[in-house]
């Protein structure tokens, strides 16, 4: 996950805490007005209540933004976990003439569903199918080419 996403979430949490701290301060000032022997003016009370309302709105907004950011982080984490689980179903295999790519662990080489995925994309956490191109396997995603000769010495690395 992106460190900027974490920084944004921390910043939003800080904004929510700051607004909440200000709320507590204003509430204390209002309480002080009610408890003093000389109550404050209506104008002072209105000003404090308006400031209190604004701070409540700021705290609610910061909390809503934080919830959205945390939801996004959770979704990204779930997608990353699913992708990693899918990639765990592959193993390195020799492609016959010196190349190495990833192939499904549980499929025999002669299965119609047998395929290779790009080793570079695999290392990046991506699943990109390799296409046969002459005597190479070609990755359309990153343009990697892996030497390949069909049915010649394909074996597990």
Q: How far does CA 117 lie from the centroid of its chain?
A: 24
Model-level pTM?
Answer: 0.54
Helix boundaries (H) for the chain: 3-35, 42-87, 119-123
Q: Which residue segments constitute the domains of the chain, with CATH numbers given? A: 3-86 (1.20.58), 89-156 (no CATH)
CA-nearest of 35, 78, 26, 77 to 54 is 26
How confident is the model over 78-111, as pLDDT tens digits?
888 888 888 889 999 888 788 899 999 988 888 8
Mean pLDDT of the chain: 82
69 pLDDT exceeds 70?
yes
Sole residue written with tokens 């609610």: 60
Q: How does residue 23 score in pLDDT terms, banded at 50, 70 and 90?
A: confident
CA-nearest of 84, 90, 127 to 106 is 90
């Amino acid at each position: 996950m992106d460190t900027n996403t974490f920084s944004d979430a921390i910043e939003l949490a800080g904004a929510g805490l700051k607004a909440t701290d200000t709320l507590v301060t204003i509430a204390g000032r209002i309480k002080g007005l009610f408890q003093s022997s000389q109550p404050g003016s209506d104008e002072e009370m209105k000003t404090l209540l308006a400031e209190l309302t604004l701070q409540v709105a700021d705290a609610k907004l910061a909390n809503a933004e934080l919830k959205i950011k945390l939801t996004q982080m959770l979704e990204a984490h779930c997608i990353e976990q699913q992708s990693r689980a899918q990639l765990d179903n592959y193993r390195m295999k020799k492609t016959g003439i010196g190349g190495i790519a990833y192939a499904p662990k549980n499929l025999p080489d002669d299965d119609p569903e047998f395929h290779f995925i790009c080793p570079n994309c695999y290392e990046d956490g991506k699943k990109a199918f390799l296409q046969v191109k002459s005597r190479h396997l070609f990755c359309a995603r990153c343009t990697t080419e892996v030497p390949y000769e069909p049915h010649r010495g394909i074996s597990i690395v």
